Structure 1
Amino acid sequence: MHTITPTTSTAHASHAAPDTTTIVIADDHPLIRAGMVSLLQSEGSFTLLGQACDGEQAVELYQRLQPDVLLLDLSMPHCDGIEATTRIHALYPQARIIIMSAHEGDEVVYRCMQAGASAYLLKNAPFDELLATIASVLKGRKVVTPQMAAKLATRVHGSDLSIREREILVHLATGACNKTIARAAGIGVGTVKFHINNILSKLNAATRTEAVMLASRRGLLGLH
């Protein structure tokens, strides 16, 4: 029998049905949470301890319920999946966290795994793939798709971009000229040009447009 609890649940893992895997789901979209609950219920081997609608609640629920697995959305209000994972992993290094997202950029995947995630899974993955991922992380394995693993193996470190370069990259994505960027960033036009040249070099891009395209594809524009 499954234990389905609301976001404000006070249930504890000790209330789980015998021989089931305890789960907490965190996603800010109610329909997605409901769909995952339905799928997990149909499987018969999971006990859902609680649901969270943002990252802050995910951290709080994990601390209180300590499930076997946390299914965590990447993009959530207040505290995103990377921050939530970092905070949970700092307190519980053995936490098994599966981050689920629609983003395929290698920088996003890299940062999730560096934060302590056990797996990174695309939201359009088949349910069987989710089940296999859960089974793997329960055995202590790290899981990413072969395609993502290949990207990670050949990635140019987006983390090599400085905070200022990331800021200027976002301005470039809006089509801003150097003078506009300089005014917004509070630096000189010459300094802007210096940073742009560094960005092009680090991303192996020939033009500003190509740099923005590569950064968008890899998920760099959404990371701060």
Structure 2
Amino acid sequence: MTEKTSRAIRVLVVDDHPYIRIGLAASINAQGDMNVVGEAGNGQEAIQAFQDLNPDVILMDIGMPRKSGVEVVQELRAMKVRTKIVMLTMYEGDEDVYQALKAGAEGYVLKGMSHQTILDAIRTVNRGERFVPPSVAEVYARHNPALELRPREREVLALMVAGKSNKEIASKLNIAEGTVKCHVSAIFLRLGVTDRAQAAMVARQRGLARV
């Protein structure tokens, strides 16, 4: 292992997959200018680990149980903390990128990128700069806030992606079936699609829904 500098970057690694955490921790701990001070497996654990460890940088998955990565960022920023945050995700949908950066993350990298890119992201945000690779920045630039789904439309879309009918969605959300139809029409318009299959495909591509 490389000898550590006197002020190594203290990193908290947050991911719900143990093997990913192990790989990231090994890569980080092999560097002379950074080390892992803790790990967490979900969003709730991330908040507690932050409070216990006060790391310089949090490297965090965006899709986790018991609070998503975006929710953790929002909570930490509400606490006015200065810890830098790099979102680590499989997804490059424009909604994922938009929500993460809007919440206050300083960096955004994909799990398919090299470990060197992730290490560069940690160093960059620790210096007070933003780290968004060109491919991710291009996706972010395509996001149109004017076409954002409203909260209820997001709920309807998530149930559509799960294969629920209008009647089932109405029952689940305790609203009229006619209201669901209105929401579905609005969703089609905002996503630029003409049917439920296209809506589901676009929702997955853009990070608007998970399956």
| TM-score of the superposed pair, with normalisation by structure 2 | 0.89
Which residue is 2:24 aligned to?
36
Which residue is 2:71 aligned to?
83
Please give the alpha-carbon distance, in whole angstroms, between the structure 2 residues aligned to 1:159 and 1:82.
20
8 Å CA contact 2:11, 2:59 repeated in 1: yes
SS of 1:43 mapped into structure 2: coil
8 Å CA contact 2:12, 2:58 repeated in 1: yes
Please give the alpha-carbon distance, in whole angstroms, between the structure 2 residues aligned to 1:106 and 1:187.
29
Which residue is 1:25 aligned to?
13
1:127 and 2:119 aligned: no
SS of 1:24 mapped into structure 2: strand
Please give the alpha-carbon distance, in whole angstroms, between the structure 1 residues aligned to 2:21 and 2:5.
21
SS of 1:32 mapped into structure 2: helix
Which residue is 2:166 aligned to?
178
User: Among residues 33, 46, 59, which one is paired with 1:45 in the alignment?
Assistant: 33
* Per-residue deviation, 1:112: 0.9
Runs of 5+ unmatched residues, structure 1: 3-15
* Per-residue deviation, 1:158: 8.4
| Closer/same/farther in 2, CA of residues 156 and 207 from structure 1, 3 Å limit | farther
Please give the alpha-carbon distance, in whole angstroms, between the structure 1 residues aligned to 2:134 and 2:103.
20
SS of 2:199 mapped into structure 1: helix
| TM-score of the superposed pair, with normalisation by structure 1 | 0.84
| Closer/same/farther in 2, CA of residues 126 and 187 from structure 1, 3 Å limit | same
Amino acid at match of 1:182: A
Which residue is 2:52 aligned to?
64
8 Å CA contact 1:107, 1:157 repeated in 2: no
Q: Which moved more, 1:110-119 or 1:69-78?
A: 69-78
Which residue is 1:13 aligned to?
none
- C-alpha root-mean-square deviation of aligned residues, in Å? 2.4
8 Å CA contact 1:37, 1:48 repeated in 2: yes
How far does the alpha carbon of each residue in 1:3-34 deviate from its partner, in whole angstroms, 9 at most, with x for none? xxxxxxxxxxxxx9613111111222222221
Amino acid at match of 1:207: D
Identity of aligned residues (%): 34
1:96 and 2:95 aligned: no
| Closer/same/farther in 2, CA of residues 179 and 80 from structure 1, 3 Å limit | closer
* Per-residue deviation, 1:163: 2.0
Amino acid at match of 1:132: D
| Closer/same/farther in 2, CA of residues 176 and 88 from structure 1, 3 Å limit | closer
In terms of Rg, which structure is larger?
1
Which residue is 2:202 aligned to?
214
SS of 1:205 mapped into structure 2: coil
1:144 and 2:148 aligned: no
Amino acid at match of 2:69: G
* Per-residue deviation, 1:76: 2.2
Equivalenced residues, count: 211
Please give the alpha-carbon distance, in whole angstroms, between the structure 2 residues aligned to 1:108 and 1:159.
15
Please give the alpha-carbon distance, in whole angstroms, between the structure 2 residues aligned to 1:152 and 1:165.
21
Q: Which moved more, 1:126-135 or 1:147-156?
A: 147-156
